[in-house]
Amino acid sequence: RFLSFFLSFFILITNQSSVTEFMLVGLSSLPEYQMFLFMLFTFIYMAALTGNLLIVITITTSTRLHTPMYFLLINLSLINLLSISVSIPKMLHNLLEHKKTIAFLGCITQIYLFTWTLGSEVLVLAAMAFDRYVAICHPLHYTIIMRKEVCVELIAGVWIAGVINSAVNTGFVLQLSFCNSNIINHFFCELPSMLKLSCSDISLNETLAFLADIVFGMGSCVVTLTSYYFILRTILKIRSTEGKKKAFSTCSSHLIVVILYYSTAIYTYIHPSSAYSPDRDKVITVLYSVITPALNPIIYSLRNKEVKEALSKLIRRLAPYQRE
């Protein structure tokens, strides 16, 4: 309610747009594909919700998993839950409706929340890479460096930085006028596609978005790649094959997630506007905003022995209640 009131008030005093609602083209305008897409994305959304909630509940209820690595994983799952819930429910609603519209306030809210989760996620991934670096390269100092207070402050900083970045970018979107087309060739309101519709000068918005990409995207990527450089160098020095496998298994899941996420998200926000292709960008956006949140729980649970054991215990504890 507070967010809705704040955005409504901000729109009233800043926005000069004559557009009160936008039309979302979606992934396909062909009627014969609407029900198929609805069923497909309903399944993906339910899988993402179930998987990420199970990760959060499993880690929370298992004292064995109360470590910095899993504390960071909880926050990644919470971000995934918020991220996929920003776009998919409205998309599913639109797939069942003939008029695929979204109110101006709803569009701005989507931009704000998605930009928030986007910035926060890359920072959490970087924090997870640093955690693995400390665990593998400086195991004797791990409990000192990654103590509880540091982890809490780190995550608080991640969420606050995400909020500030999103507020700045969204605030400057509200300064724009939208007096030409109100058709967004996307399945939800995302910053790049929104800027394309403005009849105002968007050079400042593009500059701010580019700076955010450098600070959040490239900065987090550098931290992650640097951490894995030292991790791989340390693993290669381990003499036993079993030791190498054990060391690499602690970070392989995170590395897979990083590759999936960065390769798609950075492309969308870094490539020049002249190379903008709505249809291609929609497919890429699906990969990092929908598919990745759904795959993250599977990747972390299937490749992590501790999570699988804790999840099995949780299911066994819940089984008697299900029979009742």
Domains of the chain: 2-310 (1.20.1070.10)
pLDDT of residue 275: 54
pLDDT > 60? residue 274: no
Which pLDDT band, with edges at 50, 70 and 90, does 200 fall under?
A: confident
pLDDT of residue 265: 64
Residues contacting residue 264 through CB under 8 Å, at least 6 positions apart: 284, 285, 287, 288, 292
Q: What would the two tokens of residue 27 be?
A: 């992934």
pLDDT > 70? residue 22: yes
Residues contacting residue 133 through CB under 8 Å, at least 6 positions apart: 227, 228, 230, 231
Long-range CB pairs of 207-215 (<8 Å, 24+ gap) are 208/168, 208/169, 208/172, 209/169, 209/269, 212/119, 212/165, 212/168, 212/169, 213/266, 213/269, 213/270, 215/165
The pTM is what?
A: 0.85
Which pLDDT band, with edges at 50, 70 and 90, does 12 fall under?
A: very low
Of the candidates 161, 283, 139, the residue with the CA atom closest to the CA atom of residue 217: 161
pLDDT of residue 198: 85
Quick one: DSSP state of residue 198? -
pLDDT > 90? residue 153: yes
Rounded Cα–Cα distance for residues 262 and 268 (Å)? 10
pLDDT > 70? residue 215: yes
**Counting runs of H as helices and runs of E as strands, what totals does the chain give?**
13, 3
pLDDT > 70? residue 148: yes
pLDDT > 50? residue 268: yes
